[in-house]
Structure formats: C-alpha cells, structure tokens
Amino acid sequence: MFWLFDSCVITTHSVKEIDTSEMAQPDALSEYTSFKFSSAVKPQKTKDWFRNYFGLDRKDDLVNFKSSFLEDSNHEFIITISDYSDKEEYMDLTGLFFGGGVKNRVGDLKFFIEITITDKSGVDHLAEDSIFQKPILEKLSEMRNEFQSFTGSNPDQKFF
C-alpha cells in the first residue's frame, strides 16, 4: 500500500545535492568555470560572512572584487561570489484516486554558493589549463570548510 502512494508522487524539478563541492563548467549564465557548494545559511548571512572573510566594506559588492587570494602569489585575482536557492517541485497524483485532483508541492528551500576566479585579462583560473587551478582549489576548499564550520557553530546566524 505504501509503495502505491509513494509512486503517486512525480518529481518535476529536482535539486542536485552537493555533498562537498563541485566544479561547474561554463554555461549560458556564466562564461567561467565555477566552484559550487551548498549552504545551510540564508543568502544575506552568506554575503555577510564572505564580506568579513575578504575584509570588504559593507558597501562593496561581492561581484568582481580584487584580491591576492593566494598567499604566495603576487597575482591579483578577480573574484565573484554569488548565491542562489532552489527547491524541488513535485506533482502529487494521490488525489486522482481519492478526489481532489493533482496537487503541486514544493520541497524545502536549499541554498548554494558559486565562486568564479579570473584576472584582469579575463583568464579563467578554475579552468583545467590554468597554472593557478590547483592552489586555488585548495584555498577554496579551505575557505568552504571554514565557512561551514563557522556557520555550523553559529546556528542563530548572528555573525557580526
């Protein structure tokens, strides 16, 4: 009986789970490779954390800001940090059997962070052919771990 009702729900839009992080190749929305990971923190608090991490003024934007980023490099990188949210959508067909028709349902809102790193020449430093890719990925992984550790230990999300 449970199997019958469970099979009456069809996912119409699924959200990809990101366990740690992933690299996303350029697409129609971005011409650069991006580093993505999930977040349990709402977008405004995410922006606050990254502004604090990079020492940016609240007036500064997280789009195309300059940073040396790598400690042992004199290279200046241009970093863009964006966030987005998504939720799964379902069609529940159970009502077809018991009256009430088809109902559209949505899952919980999930938050994600996407980071691109370029330079003033427009070079994509997360691309496989960049000499900086490996150290940047290591630094991004450290930063992600620090972000998740900090936000995990501050569930009230009152960071600053």
Span 38-56, pLDDT tens digits = 988 888 888 889 999 999 9
Span 112-154, pLDDT tens digits = 999 999 999 999 999 999 999 999 999 999 999 999 998 888 7
Q: What percent of the chain has pLDDT over 70?
A: 88
Q: What is the per-residue pLDDT for 156?
A: 65
Residues 6+ positions from 134 with CB-CB distance below 8 Å: none
Task: Give residue for tokens 């990254």.
Answer: 50
Q: How does DSSP classify residue 30?
A: -
In the predicted structure, residue 4 carries a pLDDT above the cut 50: no
Give phi and psi for 102, each to the nearest 5: -80, 135
Q: What percent of the chain has pLDDT over 90?
A: 41
Q: What is the per-residue pLDDT for 2?
A: 38
Instruction: Enter the tokens of residue 128.
Output: 């496989």
Average pLDDT, stretch 91-104?
A: 76
In the predicted structure, residue 6 carries a pLDDT above the cut 60: no
In the predicted structure, residue 160 carries a pLDDT above the cut 70: no
Q: What is the per-residue pLDDT for 75?
A: 93
In the predicted structure, residue 63 carries a pLDDT above the cut 90: yes
